[in-house]
């Protein structure tokens, strides 16, 4: 191998240490070396030939381009035997590869888990030039670099014969030494077996190599048992979770069984068929002397047995079902007895159709609040929004009025009109205004543009809010009330609508025909 180092003692890493001189090699010696390097490789009969590969014709700029191979330049009446007769060995043995599976034992120091590691490898032997390569399959968390173990090259035998390893050196259940590592072969592929049978030296049967502690303990995956009850509890606690059976939910959504039960007072028990959950409500009445708690038991699945166990150790599927609720029988809910006194009409029909049981009606109904007397709503004084003022009439602690969210999002459109005062006063008859109508909340805004040397302050004339149309039974203004050419009265001011912008004209032509 040529070296770029200077031919000086100590600078050439490949030189022989005991070499006394560095004379030039004679031409006769060079011819001998040249003949050794160019000796033809040994040829072997192969089980089957490799198919001729035609290079792909795509990816070239010229559409008439044709890639050429050695097989495309053969004579038309050429014989295959004559073709193989003059083929070199590297053409005959091209793409003929023997594949073996082997392993070697490697010591592991300073580890409490293992003393040695069985490393499995795959050996590829290329008949083209008698070279070989070794790869090692990658293992998860192995702790050693794996993949390409030995790049493709010729390997000398370990018996100091200065000859390369040949196919005869690979035998199943025997060792082969490659660069000081003793590798035991335990398997090969089908093509390799056919190759050796054709040579008259068939391979031995394959066997399973021994396993090490890393493979038995680390590589064997432990499949833990999932605690479905705890998982479902945590999902519902975080606001998630799902119904076990979607079919049950879709068929029984908003179907609720109603029972009248008695413990110390009257209660109402609701059984939700969509997810088999139960809730218990108190029956509150006016002046009962009891604190009006809305719920005796919040909505949940009710187990048949109640016990305080470790997390996950509960009766996962042992919940109360509709067939467990019977008339006249006590229902034990968390060690408290509830006597079933009756049900409503829907529950009675459900039991008759489902279980052929005639469940009696009865029980105390919920307290229905009496209707309020007619409230006289005073007229709006014009201060603030009327919807906000009505909140003080219906509730002692008013709530802000709710807006139509979808209308707010879908109608982000403003209609603009040009208007003037409809008056005979000389100082006001020339004043011009811009009236903007907001479709998302039906509010109005009146703005007066700047007019130089008019002596009248410009800016907002009427603030943005909803105004009533006195000419339409004091209803709030709508787009139908704002027609160009008409007169409108807003908050006591009379405006004559003169014109509108192009977008407003287009909007009216599409929505008012």
One-letter-per-residue 3-state SS of 361-374: ECCCCCCCCCCCCC
**Sheet of strand 443-448: strand arrangement:** 459-465, 443-448, 432-438, 414-421, 493-500, 487-490
Q: DSSP characters for 214-274?
A: IIIIISS---PPP-HHHHHHHHHHTT----S-HHHHHHHTT-EEEEEEESSSEEEEEEETT
pLDDT value for 72: 56
Q: Is the pLDDT at 171 greater than 90, yes or no? A: yes
**Which residues does residue 175 pair with via DSSP β-bridges, in sequence order?**
184
- Least confident interval from 44-58, 370-384, 423-437: 44-58
Contact predicate 95/50, CB 8 Å:
yes
> Per-residue confidence at 299, pLDDT binned at 50, 70, 90?
very high
> Per-residue confidence at 19, pLDDT binned at 50, 70, 90?
low
> Per-residue confidence at 379, pLDDT binned at 50, 70, 90?
confident
Q: How many CB atoms lie within 10 A of CB 161?
A: 8
> Per-residue confidence at 102, pLDDT binned at 50, 70, 90?
very high
| Mean pLDDT of the region 27-55 | 66
Q: Is the pLDDT at 2 greater than 60, yes or no? A: no
pLDDT value for 134: 95
- The token duo for 222 is 């432990």
| Mean pLDDT of the region 408-431 | 89
pTM of the model: 0.39
> Per-residue confidence at 111, pLDDT binned at 50, 70, 90?
confident
| Mean pLDDT of the region 191-195 | 92
Pick 134 or 406 by higher pLDDT: 134
Q: Is the pLDDT at 52 greater than 80, yes or no? A: no
Q: Is the pLDDT at 502 greater than 90, yes or no? A: yes
Residues in the chain: 513
Q: Is the pLDDT at 13 greater than 70, yes or no? A: no
Pick 79 or 497 by higher pLDDT: 497
- Least confident interval from 136-145, 278-287, 364-373: 364-373
pLDDT value for 351: 93
- The token duo for 462 is 């009427």
Pick 98 or 28 by higher pLDDT: 98
> Per-residue confidence at 402, pLDDT binned at 50, 70, 90?
confident
Give the 3-state secondary structure of 16-58. CCCCCCCCCCCHHHHHHHHHHHCCCCCCCCCCCCCCCCCCCCC
- The token duo for 152 is 């493709």
pLDDT value for 159: 87
Q: Is the pLDDT at 107 greater than 80, yes or no? A: yes
pLDDT in tens, 242-286: 655 677 888 889 999 999 999 888 899 999 999 899 999 988 777
Q: Is the pLDDT at 114 greater than 80, yes or no? A: yes
pLDDT value for 53: 59
pLDDT value for 97: 92
Q: Is the pLDDT at 392 greater than 60, yes or no? A: yes
Mean model confidence pLDDT for the chain: 82
Q: Is the pLDDT at 447 greater than 60, yes or no? A: yes
Helix (H) or strand (E) holding 199: helix 190-199
């Amino acid at each position: 191998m040529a070296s770029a180092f200077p031919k000086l003692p100590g600078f050439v890493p490949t030189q022989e240490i005991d070499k006394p001189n560095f004379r030039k090699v004679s031409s006769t010696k060079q011819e001998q070396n040249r003949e050794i390097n160019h000796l033809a490789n040994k040829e072997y009969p192969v089980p089957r030939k490799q198919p001729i590969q035609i290079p792909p014709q795509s990816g070239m700029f010229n559409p008439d381009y044709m890639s050429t191979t050695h097989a495309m330049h053969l004579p038309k009446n050429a014989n295959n035997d004559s073709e193989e007769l003059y083929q070199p060995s590297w053409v005959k043995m091209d793409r003929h590869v023997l594949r073996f599976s082997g392993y070697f034992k490697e010591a592991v120091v300073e580890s409490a888990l293992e003393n040695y590691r069985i490393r499995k490898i795959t050996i590829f032997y290329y008949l083209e030039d008698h070279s070989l390569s070794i790869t090692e399959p990658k293992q998860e968390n192995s702790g050693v670099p794996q993949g390409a173990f030995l790049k493709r090259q010729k390997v000398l035998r370990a018996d100091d014969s200065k000859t390369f390893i040949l196919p005869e050196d690979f035998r199943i259940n025997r060792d082969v030494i490659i660069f000081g590592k003793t590798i035991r072969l335990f398997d090969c592929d089908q093509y390799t077996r056919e190759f050796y049978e054709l040579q008259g030296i068939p391979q031995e049967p394959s066997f399973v190599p021994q396993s090490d502690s890393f493979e038995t303990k680390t590589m064997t995956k432990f499949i833990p048992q999932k605690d479905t009850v705890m998982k479902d509890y945590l999902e519902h606690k975080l606001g998630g979770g799902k119904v076990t059976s979607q079919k049950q939910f879709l068929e029984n959504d908003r179907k609720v069984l109603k029972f009248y039960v008695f413990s110390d007072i009257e209660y109402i028990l609701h059984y939700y068929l969509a997810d088999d959950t139960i809730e218990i409500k108190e029956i509150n009445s006016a002046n009962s002397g009891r604190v009006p708690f809305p719920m005796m038991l919040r909505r949940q699945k009710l187990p048949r047995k109640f016990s305080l166990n470790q997390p996950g150790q509960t009766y996962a599927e042992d919940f109360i079902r509709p067939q467990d609720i019977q008339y006249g029988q006590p229902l034990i809910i968390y060690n408290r007895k509830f006597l079933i006194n009756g049900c409503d009409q829907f529950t009675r029909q459900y039991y008759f159709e489902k279980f052929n049981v005639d469940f009696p009606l009865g029980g105390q109904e919920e307290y229905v609040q009496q209707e309020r007397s007619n409230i006289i709503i005073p007229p709006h004084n014009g201060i603030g929004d009327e919807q906000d003022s009505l909140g003080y009439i219906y509730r002692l602690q008013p709530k802000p009025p709710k807006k139509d969210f979808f209308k707010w999002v879908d109608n982000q459109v403003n209609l603009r009109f040009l208007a003037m005062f409809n008056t005979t006063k000389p100082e006001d008859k020339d004043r011009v205004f811009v009236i903007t109508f907001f479709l998302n909340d039906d509010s109005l805004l009146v703005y007066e543009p700047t007019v130089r040397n008019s002596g009248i302050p410009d800016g907002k004339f009427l603030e943005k809010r909803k105004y009533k149309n006195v000419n339409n039974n004091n209803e709030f203004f709508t787009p139908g009330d704002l027609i160009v050419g008409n007169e409108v009265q807003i908050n006591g001011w009379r405006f004559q609508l003169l014109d509108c912008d192009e977008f407003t004209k287009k909007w009216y032509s599409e929505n008012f025909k």
